[in-house]
Amino acid sequence: MKQILQTLFILSIVLILDCRLKKPVYHLTQSEAETRFEIIENIKYELDVHLTPKDSFEGKVKIYFFGKKLRDLRLDYYQGKIKSIVLNEEDLTNLPYENGHIQLPANNLMIGNNTLTVEFETPYAKTGNGLHKFTDPDDKEVYLYSQFEAFHANKMFPCFDQPDLKATFKLNATVPKNWKVISTTLPNGQTKGTNLEEISFSFPESAKISTYVFSLHAGPYQVWEDNFESIPLRLFVRKSLAKYVDPKDWFTFTKEGFAFFNSYFGIPYPFLKYDQIIVPEFNFGAMENVGAVTFSERFVSRAPMTRSQRENLSDVVLHEMAHMWFGNLVTMRWWNGLWLNESFATYMASLAQAKNSEFKETWISFFEKMKQWAYDEDSFVTNHPVEAKVSDTEEAFTQFDGITYGKGASVLKQLVYFIGEEAFQRGVQNYLRKYSYSNSTLTDFLKELEFASGFPMKKWSKDWLETKGTNQVELTTICAENQFYWKIVQSAPGLENKLRDHKTILGLYFFDKSNKQLSFEEVPVVYSGRSTNAIFPVKTCPNYTFINAEDHDFSIWKWTESNKESLEYVLEFDTDPMRKLILWTDYFRQVQLANITFDEFKDTAIRLYSSETDIKIKRWILSRVAGDNGSTYFTSRFWFPEEKRIRDLNSLQTFIWDELLKAKPGSDEQRYLFVSLVDSTYTANAKKRLYDFLENKLSVSGLKIDQDLRWNLIVKLSSLETERTQIQNIIDREKKADPSSRGVNSSLAAEGAEPNRSVKEKWIQILLNPKSSQYSSSTLRVVSYSLFPEHQKDIQLTFLDTYLDALDKFNNGEDENYLDAFAKSLAPDFCTDETLLILKKFTGNHPRLPAPVKKTLLKQIDSEKKCIEMKNKHKDLIAN
Ligand SMILES: [Zn+2]
C-alpha cells in the first residue's frame, strides 16, 4: 500500500495525545436514579408550552410530588434557559444550573406534598432528540416531534427523567392555528388564544407512565382516521409526503395487531387511543410513545412497496404496539432491563405476524435479520449478557444493539421451544397483570415464568440472559444397519462464555438423485454439556443431516467441507425456504471462515439463482453476490489485482442483466436485480448503462425508475466519476426536479461521494462542527455515510488522523446519535496491520471516550483483526 509515510506521521500524533479523563456529566447514573427513587414518588406533571416556528419555545411546568426523604433532589434539564424556579412557594431562580441539571436543596423540600414550578425556554433540537423541528423544503411548513428515549425528555422540559419515576402528564399547547397537536391522550378541548393566529389544545391527565414514553408532536400534519373496536386510530404524515402513503396497509396491520395482542396478553389495550405519526429526520425506525408512536419516513416509499417492505412495515407496527404492554404498561426499572422491552417487542412482533397477518414467512425474516444480527454482535469483544450492566444513561444508548434486540428475542424463541407456547403465554399474562403501571426487574419476570411453567428459570437465566457468548456445535453422524447415531459436541469460545442446555431439531434429508428429488424428516433433540449423543432406528440412512432445522436454537453450527456436494444438492432441490436460507447462510459462513473462496460460493449461487423460485432466497443470493456483504467486500477489500476485479464485476453485471431481462415485468425481483446492478457498477460499461437509464435511452419493460432509485444511480455514478461534467449536469437537473427533503439530502450525498479530496475536506469540516452547521444531524448523517465508499479507501486513509482527532475533541454534550453516526460512518476499515495498530494505540490512550465512540472503536479493532485474518487465510486458500 502507498500510505506508509502517512501512517508514520499519524503514529507520532497518536503517541503524544493526552488521556482525556472527562466523562459527560449531564448523563444520569444508575446510583443517582436509585437515590432519587428513594426521595420522591407520586409525581404529576402539568406542562404548558407555547410552540411557534421560531428557533426556541417557551414553557412552564408544574410538578407535584410526594417527598419521602429530605435529600438534595436532582432536576434534569439539558441546555435550556431557566427563567424562574419556585419550590413550595420559595423563589429558587438563582440556584446554580450547570451540566444539564439543577440540585434542589433538601432544606426547601418537604416530607409530604411538594410543588415545583419552572418557567423555561428551550431551543428546538436539530439532532432528532428532545423536541425536534423540521422545515419542509417543499412547502416551507414547520413540523415538530419529540423523541425522549433514553434520556431526552429533559431536552424538552425540566423533569425527573428516569423510567421508574412514573408520573401522570397533563398538557396544554398553544400553536399556530393551522397546526395539529398529538400527545399521550386525545385533547379534550381547544380554545382560541389571545393571538388570533393561534389556538390552544388541552390534554387530560394521562395514565401513569415513564417520562421517556410521554410525547408531543405538532404541525400541519395530514391525518387519516379509522378505529379498532372502541380504540380510535389515526395516522399522520407531513403534507408533502401524504400522496405516497397507503393508509390502508397501515390500518390493516394495526388492527391485526390489536386483535392479536388484546387476546394474547389477556389485558385490553390500556391507553384508550392509538396514533401513528410518520416523522421527518428520525434517528430510529420507530418509537413507542404511549398512544402516539413515531415512525421514520423510510417507511414511505415513492415507488410501490415490495412485499418485503410491506412485511417490514407490518413488523415495525407490531413491534411498537407490543411495547404498549411490554415497556409502557410494565416498564424496566433501569436501562439494564432494556431487553425486557426490546427482546419481547421483537419476539412478539414476529409471533403476531405468524399468527395473524398475511406474512406467514415472518420466522424466515427473523432468522435472516434478528438471528444474524445477534450472532454478529455476540461475536465482538463488545458483546455483553442480554441483561447487561448499565452505569449511566450514556451507556444506555449503546445497549440498543444486536444483543438486546436480536439475541434476547432469539433466546425467548428458544425458551418457548423448551417450555411450550401455552406456559409462556400464561407466564407473560401473569407478569403483565402483576406489574401494570409500575416497574419490574428480571427476577420478577423469572418468578412468573417459573410459576407458569414449572421450568427452573434461574439456571436458564444464568446461562442465557446473564452470561454472554454463543455456543458452537459440531455434529457427527454414523448410520448403518438401520441405526442412526448422532453426537453433538458443544464448545463455548470467548471470554465468560459457558456451555448451555439447548433444544433443537436435527434435519434429515433423503435423496433420490435419479428422480432429482429429496424428502425430509425432523428429529427433536436436547443437548447439554460438552457432548451429547443418542441412537435411533431409521428405515433408510439420510444423505445429509444438519442442526437447527426450524431455527429454535441459538448456536453456530461448525460445518465441514466434506458435506459440500450434498449441501449443494439440497440447495438445488429442497423447496422449503426456511431450511434453505439456514443452509445458504451456513454455506456463506464458510467463505467468512476462509474454508472456501468467495468465487466458489459465487459460482454456486449464480448457478442456482435461475432455478430458485422463492423471492426471499433470490434476494438473499443477490445481496451476497452483488451487495456490500458480497462481491463489494470480497473483491475490493482483499485487493485482488484490478484486472481480476474488473473481470469479476463485468461477469457479475452480465449475469444480473440477463436475469433482469428474464424477470417478470413489475415484479419485486426486477427491482432487486436492478438495485444489484447499481451496487455492482464499477466498470466503464456498467457506468454507461446507468447513464442510459438516467437519460431515458434505456429501459426494461415493467421496471419503473422512480425518483429515489434515480438518486441511487446518481450517488453511485458520482462516487466513480473524476470527470465531472456529465454527472454534475445530472445532479443539477435532478435537484431542480426534486426539491423535496429527500432530493436535497440525496443531492448532498451525491456531492459528498465525489472522489475528490478537497470535497471530502470541506464536508469533514462541516461534520466536525454540527452545532454551527446549517444542516440537521439527519442530513449530516446521510452525507457522512456517502463520503467514503469502498473504492475510495485511499482517500479515506489520508483523513485517519483527522478522524481520530475529532473523536478526541467531541466531548461533553454532543448528541449520542450524532456521535455514533460520525464514529461509525467514517470508521477506518482498511484491513491492514498498520491501521489496526493505530486504532489500538488511540483506544488504549483514550480510556474515557464517550460510550458510543468507545464501542465503535473496540468493534472496529475487532473487525479489522478478523478481516486481516480472513484476508491472510484467503490468500493461502487461493495460493493452494
Ligand atoms: Zn422497541
Q: Would you say residue 15 has pLDDT above 60?
A: no
Q: Do domains 32-220 and 471-553 have the same CATH topology?
A: yes
Query: Rounded to the nearest whole angstrom, what is the distance from the C-alpha of residue 326 to the centroid of ligand 1?
Result: 9
More confident residue, 649 or 633: 649
**Predicted local confidence at residue 735, as pLDDT:** 97
Q: Which residues pair with 480 in a beta bridge?
A: 483
**Predicted local confidence at residue 10, as pLDDT:** 30
CATH superfamily of 330-464: Neutral Protease Domain 2 (1.10.390.10)
Confidence of residue 813 (pLDDT cuts 50, 70, 90): low
CA distance 93 to 71: 19
Q: Who's near 263: CB < 8 A, 6+ residues apart?
A: none
Query: Rounded to the nearest whole angstrom, what is the distance from the C-alpha of residue 802 to the centroid of ligand 1?
Result: 35
Query: Rounded to the nearest whole angstrom, what is the distance from the C-alpha of residue 400 to the centroid of ligand 1?
Result: 9
Q: Who's near 615: CB < 8 A, 6+ residues apart?
A: 307, 308, 668, 669, 672
Query: Are the C-beta atoms of residues 510 and 519 closer than 8 Å to each other?
Result: yes
Residue type for position 515: N
**Predicted local confidence at residue 594, as pLDDT:** 84
Query: Are the C-beta atoms of residues 82 and 60 closer than 8 Å to each other?
Result: no
Q: At what angle do helices 408-419 and 457-464 cross, to 10 degrees?
A: 150
Q: Would you say residue 259 has pLDDT above 70?
A: yes
Query: Are the C-beta atoms of residues 201 and 218 closer than 8 Å to each other?
Result: no
Q: Which fold has domain 32-220?
A: Immunoglobulin-like (2.60.40)
Residue type for position 493: P
Q: Would you say residue 440 has pLDDT above 60?
A: yes
Q: What distance lies between CA 56 and its chain's CA centroid?
A: 30
Confidence of residue 324 (pLDDT cuts 50, 70, 90): very high
Confidence of residue 555 (pLDDT cuts 50, 70, 90): very high
Query: Rounded to the nearest whole angstrom, what is the distance from the C-alpha of residue 354 to the centroid of ligand 1?
Result: 18
**Predicted local confidence at residue 880, as pLDDT:** 74
Query: Rounded to the nearest whole angstrom, what is the distance from the C-alpha of residue 319 to the centroid of ligand 1?
Result: 6
pLDDT in tens, 333-348: 999 999 999 999 999 9
Query: Rounded to the nearest whole angstrom, what is the distance from the C-alpha of residue 346 to the centroid of ligand 1?
Result: 7
Q: ∠ CA 726-728-730 to the nearest 5 degrees?
A: 75
As a whole number of angstroms, the longest Cα–Cα distance in the chain is 92
H or E element that contains 120: strand 112-123
CA distance 294 to 578: 32
* Helix runs in 627-756, H state only: 631, 642-662, 668-679, 684-694, 707-720, 725-737, 741-752
pLDDT in tens, 72-96: 999 999 989 999 999 999 999 999 9
C-alpha cell at 738: 426534486
Q: Could you list which residues have their CB under 5 Å from ion ligand 1?
A: 342, 345
- Reduce the DSSP state of residue 377 to 3 states and report it: helix
| Mean model confidence pLDDT for the chain | 94
493 to 470, 472, 496, 859: CA distances (angstroms): 8, 7, 9, 18
Q: Who's near 875: CB < 8 A, 6+ residues apart?
A: 638
Query: Rounded to the nearest whole angstrom, what is the distance from the C-alpha of residue 771 to the centroid of ligand 1?
Result: 29
Query: Rounded to the nearest whole angstrom, what is the distance from the C-alpha of residue 781 to the centroid of ligand 1?
Result: 22
**Predicted local confidence at residue 736, as pLDDT:** 97
pLDDT in tens, 473-519: 999 999 999 999 999 999 999 999 999 999 999 999 999 999 999 99
Nearest to 317 by CA among 385, 390, 233: 233
Query: Rounded to the nearest whole angstrom, what is the distance from the C-alpha of residue 682 to the centroid of ligand 1?
Result: 38
Q: At what angle do helices 408-419 and 338-356 cross, to 10 degrees?
A: 60
**Predicted local confidence at residue 636, as pLDDT:** 64
75 to 38, 147, 172, 368: CA distances (angstroms): 14, 19, 21, 44
Overall average pLDDT of the 521-529 stretch: 97
**Predicted local confidence at residue 848, as pLDDT:** 85
472 to 416, 546, 847: CA distances (angstroms): 21, 14, 32
pLDDT in tens, 408-435: 999 999 999 999 999 999 999 999 999 9
**Predicted local confidence at residue 3, as pLDDT:** 29
Nearest to 242 by CA among 740, 736, 776: 740
**Predicted local confidence at residue 871, as pLDDT:** 87
CA distance 155 to 146: 10
Q: Would you say residue 13 has pLDDT above 70?
A: no
CA distance 335 to 339: 9
pLDDT in tens, 669-708: 999 999 999 999 999 999 999 999 999 999 999 999 999 9
- Reduce the DSSP state of residue 101 to 3 states and report it: strand
Query: Rounded to the nearest whole angstrom, what is the distance from the C-alpha of residue 538 to the centroid of ligand 1?
Result: 45
Domain boundaries, the chain: 32-220, 330-464, 471-553, 757-880
Express as a percent the part of the chain with pLDDT over 70.
96
Q: Would you say residue 638 has pLDDT above 90?
A: no
Overall average pLDDT of the 718-733 stretch: 98
**Predicted local confidence at residue 558, as pLDDT:** 86
Query: Rounded to the nearest whole angstrom, what is the distance from the C-alpha of residue 341 to the centroid of ligand 1?
Result: 6
Q: Which residues pair with 170 in a beta bridge?
A: 46
Query: Rounded to the nearest whole angstrom, what is the distance from the C-alpha of residue 136 to the centroid of ligand 1?
Result: 28
Query: Rounded to the nearest whole angstrom, what is the distance from the C-alpha of residue 283 to the centroid of ligand 1?
Result: 13
Query: Rounded to the nearest whole angstrom, what is the distance from the C-alpha of residue 507 to the centroid of ligand 1?
Result: 33
Q: Would you say residue 12 has pLDDT above 50?
A: no
CA distance 821 to 554: 29
Overall average pLDDT of the 12-24 stretch: 36
Query: Rounded to the nearest whole angstrom, what is the distance from the C-alpha of residue 330 to the centroid of ligand 1?
Result: 14
**Predicted local confidence at residue 2, as pLDDT:** 32
Q: Would you say residue 878 has pLDDT above 90?
A: no
H or E element that contains 313: helix 307-325
pLDDT in tens, 143-202: 999 999 999 999 999 999 999 999 999 999 999 999 999 999 999 988 887 899 999 999
pLDDT in tens, 207-238: 999 999 999 999 999 999 999 999 999 999 99
CATH architecture label of 471-553 = Sandwich (2.60)
Query: Rounded to the nearest whole angstrom, what is the distance from the C-alpha of residue 290 to the centroid of ligand 1?
Result: 12
Query: Rounded to the nearest whole angstrom, what is the distance from the C-alpha of residue 236 to the centroid of ligand 1?
Result: 20
pLDDT in tens, 110-121: 999 999 999 999
Q: Would you say residue 14 has pLDDT above 90?
A: no
Percent helix, strand, coil in the chain, to 5, is 45, 20, 30
DSSP label at residue 369 = I
C-alpha cell at 546: 444438519
